[in-house]
Structure 1
C-alpha cells in the first residue's frame, strides 16, 4: 500500500500538466489569428494601370559580326617575270600607284571591273579594257581626248567600251614616263593590275624570287567595316544603305550603314570538321558612319542591330495589358472591369500595336504588374 500512493500522486500531476499544456496551446492558436484576419484576406488587390500611347514601333534583330577590314581578295600576277618587290601588310594602294614589282618594273593599279586581258598597242582597238585605261588616265589628270562614237571601220563603239585613239596612246606614254618606265605606249598583260577600288594589303603570299604567275597577295577594304553572316532566307529584308546600330565590346553603341550584300551563298552543307549542318548564309558588310568610332580597334566581335520594319505614329500598350478572349482575339480591360476588343499589330520591345473602336491615345487600361 505504501508504494501505491506515490504512483497515484504522479498520475494526478501528469494529468494536470497535460491540461495546462493543452490550454496553453489553445491560447497560442488564438493569438496567431487576430481579429479581422478574414476581412484582410478577402480585400481586392490594387489595380495596376497604364495608358494607351502614340509612338513609333520597329521590328529589329541583333546579329553577331566581326569588325575588321572585311573579306580578303586574292591578287594574282600575270604574264612572265620574277617578283622582285612586294608591299607590306597594312599598306594602302591608290589609283596609278605601284602594287608590286616584276623584274624591277613597277606594276601600277587601275580601278575597274575588267582585267587587262590583251596587249594594247594598236590605235583602233575597241574594248572594255581600253575603257579601263582611258577612264583611269583621265582620272589621273592625263589628256586622253574625246571618245568617238564609231571605230575606224565605221562600226558603233558599244556602251562601256572605248577606242584606242592616238591621243590615248600619247597619254599612255606620258603615264609610263612618270612611273619611270620605258615610254612605249604599249601595255602588255601583267604590266598593270585592275582592282575595284582603293585597297589595303591584308596578306602577302609570295616572296621575292617567285614567278609572277601565281597568288601574290591579298587585299581588303581600306577602311574598317563589320562582316555579318545573315541567313540566306532572311537577307532579303536587309537593304544597302540602311541604317544600323553597332554595339562595340565595351557596350558603346555607334551608328552604321549597310555598305554591300554579297551575292555568294556560303554553307548549307555538312561541316567538314564537325559533321554538323547549318543554314546557308550571305555576308553583309556594314561600315561605321564615323571611322573615328573604331579607330582604336583592329579587330573585335560586335553586335549589329538591323531594323527591318517600322510602324510610325501608332497606338500601343505594354504587352501585359492584353487580355486573351475565350472566343479568340484580344481585349483591353478598363479600370471598371469592362473589356474593349482590339486588333493587335507589331510587337516590339515589350509594346504591342493596338487598334479598334474607342481605342484612343491616353485611354487608361489595366496591365499586369
Structure 2
C-alpha cells in the first residue's frame, strides 16, 4: 500500500517504503527543498473489478490408486496363471487359475464361506444371485433361496467359464471383493500352491490422500471442491470424499522444546480426494502432489491490486481514482487479501473505475 498525505493531486511527492508485518505501505511525503525537479513518470493504473476473491492454502498429498489389500485364495492345487501388475479385473473375470480352473471375482461384502447348492438359504445366496444376474444370466429370481432355476443358470455360467457344469458353486470358485480391482503386486509365483495370499490389489481409480494436521481440517468437508496440483502441468479439480476419524501421529511441527534428534509429533487426519477427470493427470500413477483448498472466500466483491491502496497519514485507506487527466482520492474499507488483490468498498467506488497503482 502507499501512504498519502491527502495533498492536492497536483502536489509533487516522494515515496518512502515501510514494511508493517506482511504488508508494505507506501508513505507519501513532500520533497525537501533540495530535491531536484523532474517530470513524473507515466502513471500506472488498474481497473476496479467485481469478482470472487479466495484465500487458499496448500497441503502435501500423494496421488495413487489408494491403499493395497491382499487377495486370498482357497483353491487347492497348483497356481497356473495370474494377472499382470497394473491389470484391471472386473466382475466375472478370473483373478487366478488353479490347475487351469478360473477363480472368478464377484462383487460383494460377504465372504464365500460355504458351498452353494440346491435349497441353500441365506444372504450369501442373494449376493451370488445378484452377481449372476449382473453377468447377464436369467431364468431365476434373486432371493435368499438357491433353487433349481438358479442351478440351471449356474451350469450355463460354468460352461462359459470352462468349468465342470455341476450346478453348485464351490467355496474356492469365487472371491468376493468390494468392486473391480487393479492388481498392485503378485505375491506368489506360478507353480506354487494356489492357496493363500497370491496378489494384492487397489481400487481402479486414482485418488489423492493427504495427512492434514487435525487442527487444520475445517476445509475438509465431504463434497468440498479442491484443486490437485501435480509436479508438472495444470491443476486438476478434485472433491473431498472422506475424512478419517482415526488420528495418526506424524513427525513434524516446530517444537523448540523437543529433545535433540527426536522431533515434534503432530496429530493428523487422512483426507481422501477423488478426481473425476482421470485422464487429466498426464499418465501419472503415483506422485507427490499439492492439494489447494480455500480458507476464505468472498463472492461478488470489488477488488484492486494491493499496491493500489493508499494509507493516508491521517488514517484509514484510500484509492486514487483516475479520470482522464484528473484524479481524486476516495476513502475505502479493505476486506480479504488474496493473490495480490484486496477487497475494497466505499462511497463512490464501483467496478470499471481506473485507479492509480504504485510504480
Normalising by structure 2, report the TM-score.
0.70
Structure 2 segments unaligned to the other structure (5+ residues)? 1-31, 253-260, 322-326
Distance in 2 of aligned mates of 1:326 and 1:334: 15
- Out of 273, 276, 300, the position equivalent to 1:313 is 300
Aligned residue in 1 for 2:255:
none
Deviations 1:241-292 (A, max 9, x none): 655444443x320534337436364632569xx7542331314244361516
Q: How far did 1:75 drift?
A: 1.5
Structure index of larger Rg? 1
> Of residues 35, 48, 58 in structure 2, which corresponds to 1:40?
35
The answer on 1:138 being equivalent to 2:138 is no
Distance 1:146 1:288, change over 3 A: closer
Once the two structures are TM-superposed, the CA of residue 44 in structure 1 deviates from its matched residue by 11
Q: Which runs of 5+ in 1 are unaligned?
A: 1-36, 149-161
Q: 1:231 to 1:100 in 2, by over 3 A?
A: farther
Give the Cα separation in 2 of the matches to 1:204 and 1:262. 30
Q: Aligned pair count?
A: 314
Q: Map residues 8-157 of structure 1 onto 2, 5 A cutoff.
A: 38-41=33-36, 50-78=46-74, 83-123=79-119, 125-127=121-123, 129-143=124-138, 145-147=140-142
How far 1:107 sits from its partner (Å)? 0.8
User: Please, what is the CA RMSD of the aligned residues?
Assistant: 3.8
Q: What per-residue deviation string (whole Å, max 9, x for no partner) do you get for residues 53-100 of structure 1?
A: 211223333333344433322222246555443322222212111101
Q: Is the 8 A contact 2:56 2:292 kept in 1?
A: yes
* In structure 2, C-alpha distance between the alignment counterparts of 1:351 and 1:333, rounded to whole Å: 14
1:282 aligned to 2:270?
Answer: yes
**Shift in Å at residue 227 of structure 1?**
4.1
Q: 3-state DSSP class of the match of 1:320? A: helix
- 1:303–1:45 distance in 2 versus 1, CA, 3 Å: same
**Kept in 2: contact 1:343–1:356 (CA 8 A):** no
| Aligned partner of 2:199 among 209, 217, 223 | 217
Which shows bigger deviation, 285-294 or 196-205? 285-294
Match of 2:25 in 1: none
